[in-house]
Amino acid sequence: MNIVRDLNTDTDKHDRKYFNPNSIVTVGTFDGLHLGHKKILDTLVQTGDEKNLRKTVVTFEPHPRLILKKNGKYGEVKILTTFDEKILNFESQGIDTIFVINFTKEFAATPATEFFLKYLINKIGFSHYVVGYDHMFGKNREGSIVTIKSLSEEYKFDLWKVDEFKLNNHIVSSTLIRRLLLETKVKEAAGLLGRNYTFTGKISYGDKRGSIIGFPTANIETSDKNKLIPGNGVYLVKVYINNNYYFGMMNIGSRPTVTDDKNIFLEIHILDFSNNIYGEIITVEFIDFIRNEKKFSSLEELKIQLNKDKQTVLEKTLLIKQN
């Protein structure tokens, strides 16, 4: 799979090296790469294979809402997929070429038709275009499917419109998935993503309080500060370390029993694991929600609850292994 970067910042660099009118293209941020996005990509890949076209995705980095103001604030959105996660997902879907446009405030001011002609038609090339039902683009999101349909008639390319994807009477969207995750509904979010939600981070040193009460934990620093972390509470998770995986229970929260610090900590107790992994990069996969975060009256009361949590996790893990 080819990855072509900075299409908008270095106009002479590629010298139309990747221009190919025998292509099928779609454009989007694709945060989360959920089942709605998958429907678009499936249409693109299936049509591309049938017609022997280069299967092409144009995406943006960073996420536009990390750059643009919304309600007077910057960076309100938390992303569901990092750039590296998106690339791996695109590759697994069978995409041939990814064009990555560096999203800046200057680029955001590009009118819709100018963007379409300058980048898609003149620099990338295509004969077929796939668009989602609610696609908006260009300055102030002025471009829409109506714009693209008009351009398709003028520039003679085939247009494929993909309808919304619904699950349980809800339109699958990144916004809905973010809300579910923040509400600790990781299983419901997984149903819309088509996979369990994950994040990657580095193991760091903690205060070792967990070891004192028999529950040693690894603290995690996320690899991307903009990555969404699910709501506070205790979760059943799967942890990937050096190509192996283990089950564990994870706490997200401010640790109110042991500190008044309002910062959010990510701590994980890995079942049947005693290796030293400080400094290692791990991936955490959320499987199920166990309970809300709670302040206990003592460390002993906390220990009793943690044993209950562990028993719940072991029971759920056993069911997973049996299936």
Domains and CATH numbers, the chain: 2-171 (3.40.50.620), 200-322 (2.40.30.30)
pLDDT at 275: 84
pLDDT of residue 285: 97
The sign of the CA dihedral 136, 138, 139, 144 is negative
> E strands within the chain?
2-5, 23-27, 54-61, 97-102, 128-132, 158-162, 166-167, 170-171, 198-204, 218-222, 233-241, 244-253, 265-270, 281-291
Query: What single-letter amino acid sits at 236?
Result: L
Question: What pLDDT does 186 receive?
Answer: 98
In one-letter notation, the amino acid at residue 233 is: G
> Distance between CA 183 and CA 189 in Å, rounded?
10
Stretches in the chain below the pLDDT threshold 70: 8-15, 69-76, 205-214, 256-261
CA-wise closest residue to 29 among 74, 72, 79: 79
User: Whole-model pTM?
Assistant: 0.90
**Each residue of 110-150: pLDDT tens digit?**
999 999 999 999 999 999 999 998 899 999 899 999 999 99
Two tokens, residue 204: 């760091």
Q: What integer pLDDT is reported at residue 92 of this predicted model?
A: 94
- Distance, CA of 38 to CA of 94 (rounded, Å): 11
